[in-house]
Amino acid sequence: MRIIVTGSIAYDYLMSFPGSFQEHFLPDHLQRISLSFLVDTMEKRRGGCAPNIAYTLALLGERPAIMGAAGQDFGEYRSWLERYGIDTSLVRQIPDKFTASFFCNTDQQNNQIASFYTGAMAHAGELSFRDAGPCDLAIISPNDPGAMLRHAEECRELGIRYIYDPGQQCARAGGDELKAGIIGAAILICNDYEFELIRQKTGLGEGQVLEHCEALVVTRGEKGSVIYHDSRRLEVPAVPAVRETDPTGVGDAFRAGFMKGLAIGANHEVCGRLGSVAATYALEHLGGQSHMFTWQEFQERYARHFGAGAFAG
């Protein structure tokens, strides 16, 4: 199966604040906020939704292709991805721009305040599935809004099965834009907060989404995920972490695990379980591409939590 992952390509600047953000917001002064948080640590990591998803897919034995736009500083990042067997031939490098950058500050309760610099990502809409070659499964993850609209339209026209993952763009996109991605998607995947934004902006609840998609997947952090499919509501628990290090990239790892399930022909509940295991590996490490495991180790962890017979059902 040839999998194409579209989405942002970025560098992550990850900072940790030794306190709680909530303690510094004054309810009577929310109309004028001016805050600066002194952080303990900062790490620069390779990130972006597309490489994060592709990286975990590669650990799971797939050989995904990334389609996205990166900047003049992408050379080392490209080489690193290719060492893991990820196809970067569809990545366009923009010579006069920097790669998009994600600046994220996390407090002790895992609350996050973040900013995102678009950079070269603004050119992602110049890339086309029509030039990408065969594709059996695609995911449209957070990216330049125009690129997301174009890629969803192309997938529908070309008959490519795709997952629509609006993610952080739910806050920016209008209802019509979100509907344009949802209608025709095989699966809509988002977290519970994002789904409430989708519901408010589009008027589509769970039932209405299923009129257009075969499944709706809503992740809920430590509460696991809920999968709506064929008038059924399936709850999939989260897998306990050995240690909770950093939530950055956890959702991307979940998506990779879910896509691995689709690639091997598993049903949606098993796909969700695979996503839960993958997400926990990411949670235990800093950034979205620091975790490591073999396919054998992954299956053993899956079996310990969900029982022997791993991918049956």
User: CA 69, CA 100: separation in Å to the nearest integer?
Assistant: 9
Is 28 considered catalytic here?
no
Q: Are 200 and 171 spatial neighbours (Cβ–Cβ below 8 Å)?
A: no
Amino acid at 255: R
d(C-alpha 281, C-alpha 313), whole Å? 24
Written as six digits, the tokens of 267 are 């049903």
d(CA 166, CA 288): 18
The active-site residue out of 12, 144, 246, 252 is 252
Mapped onto helix, strand or coil, the DSSP state of residue 21 is: helix
Answer yes or no: are the C-beta atoms of 63 and 85 closer than 8 Å: yes
CA–CA separation, 272 and 277 (whole Å): 9
For residue 132, what is the DSSP state?
A: S
Would you name the residues annotated as active-site residues? Answer: 252
